Structure 1
């Protein structure tokens, strides 16, 4: 099992899709289950996911699952002799994995299960022999290429748009979601329209970008929300000890709360114990306030 985690919009699903497309044909069977969180809110949703998995691997549309437990048994019985590649994309609760696949110990040798999640805490408990991978933002060259593909339909911008393109790259800070949305938005626009749109983005964040970033934010409890907004407004770039000294006077339970915010990739702590937050997350937090 491999857990892939990272900030919303950083490309976890894209990475999983690429792995799937490269490797699915070397397995006896494969299944890519999307939006696990959204599609497993009810027993019926879980059963439908189980039926989809069985169909994609076995190719039998007549297989019907009568209950979640029966579905787990059918999956384990049917796939125990097959090497399979299974992607569970968008998990936000640990029990979603078990309700779909059980203990994940009934698959043949050589099988691979890949889980994508926004929360590191969800993929850490996978156990010995399994691994986790954090999807980082794009480096500058990768960001330029992705943006140019959407804004200009080629790898290089127009000569008179280099500086404007670089402003977008600095604004997006390597987040593929932002680069894609802004690239599509800027395609075919004049230079004057670009300048106007950039000023607008800097003052009013894109709803499409905020919608994705807010998902992790909205999963925080009330205390964690307060801490996140305090960091966005006052403490981005400050040392952890300084932030703890101030916020602990407000009974915000930092020792238990900050690790949860970090696990959701909303805040990072560097080797010098300094807190930092992606500029777009900070912009979102200040907009919320």
Structure 2
């Protein structure tokens, strides 16, 4: 965090769910709080801003934190904030705001803080930071291999390295988590003091069923999309990871999914990235999308909207048990006994 400028600086911390945005904001808040005249950490801002009582709570907390009075009652808190803060050098963290409507609903004016103030905003939505003209944006990186192994060792075994017999399983867990701190923390803590067989069973289960706590955290970004954007995300998670962006755009355009804006929103929401013009998605986001497609019918693929596994596709086509729920499927002809499939398999 820069202290060289005397003006008010707003700093954004942006990334996918579970990447450690709030953890970084808390670390900065704890380290630098004593350099300011007033401080406030507005945690779970997005959730609170969704209800009238929550909006009042956020405003009252901001006022009471800064002026150190906990009986703050005033008819016009927006006016009170501007009057009280305009000459104060403050540090404020606005944590977990997801869109401009949430931010504006609480009516926090970023220009009302005194010279030298620093405002940190954590979000999964880069476009929000652009709308607020935030020039300083930091995107946390995923944990590297050594960092992941070290965190697994500490949380699961309370040691610097995995004990004998758990080395390969720990590596499997690290590979599954893909450097996402939330996933490492949740799963390593769950596996604390569990046996080898329990580790093996958990890792096998994760191949089919994502952890519910991790799924819920990641799904917040999906839930914020509109219906067309959700369809685009699910199509990518099932069919298009690693494919050329222009090629995928043509397919999505043919399906009337408006890829020009849809893909842009998915990038802004940290749900996909593009590398060498290829669409990239974190494995856990992919698994989250496919779990959404499965829904409660985990063992009845004929009821899913999308089919991506060759075994499921062949089963549905050979047994004529497809339903109107199926909107798309992917099947590579190479290595597939297509001579057993007739045109009737594709008719409703």
Give the TM-score taking structure 1 as reference length.
0.94
From 21, 28, 32, the equivalent of 1:23 is: 32
Aligned to 1:72: 78
For structure 1, which segment, 249-258 or 154-163, has the greater mean C-alpha deviation from structure 2 after superposition? 154-163
Distance 2:203 2:262 in 1: 35
From 151, 160, 165, the equivalent of 2:170 is: 165
Aligned to 1:283: 287
* 2:245 paired with 1:240: yes
Listed one character per residue, the Cα deviations across residues 181-208 of structure 1 (whole Å, up to 9, x for unaligned) are 1101111011121111110111111001
RMSD: 1.4
Structure 2: where are the runs of 5+ without partners?
A: 1-9, 294-348
The DSSP-based 3-state class of the residue aligned with 1:91 is coil
Distance 2:95 2:66 in 1: 17
The DSSP-based 3-state class of the residue aligned with 2:162 is coil
The structure in which a higher percent of residues are helix is 1
Do the aligned residues in 2 keep the contact of 1:29 with 1:83 (CA within 8 Å)? yes
The DSSP-based 3-state class of the residue aligned with 2:103 is helix
Listed one character per residue, the Cα deviations across residues 68-97 of structure 1 (whole Å, up to 9, x for unaligned) are xx2121111112221100001010222443
Aligned to 2:119: 113
Distance 2:123 2:61 in 1: 20
Structure 1: where are the runs of 5+ without partners?
A: none
* 2:58 paired with 1:49: yes
The DSSP-based 3-state class of the residue aligned with 1:3 is strand
Aligned to 1:9: 18
Matched positions, count: 284
Distance 2:46 2:262 in 1: 23
User: How far does residue 99 in structure 1 lie from its aligned partner after superposition?
Assistant: 4.3
Distance 1:224 1:250 in 2: 12
The DSSP-based 3-state class of the residue aligned with 1:107 is coil
Structural mapping, 1:97-246, within 5 Å? 97-100=103-106, 102-127=108-133, 130-246=135-251
Distance 2:26 2:145 in 1: 23
Do the aligned residues in 1 keep the contact of 2:99 with 2:125 (CA within 8 Å)? no
Q: Of the two structures, which has the highest relative contact order with CA contacts closer than 8 Å and spacing of 6 or more?
A: 1
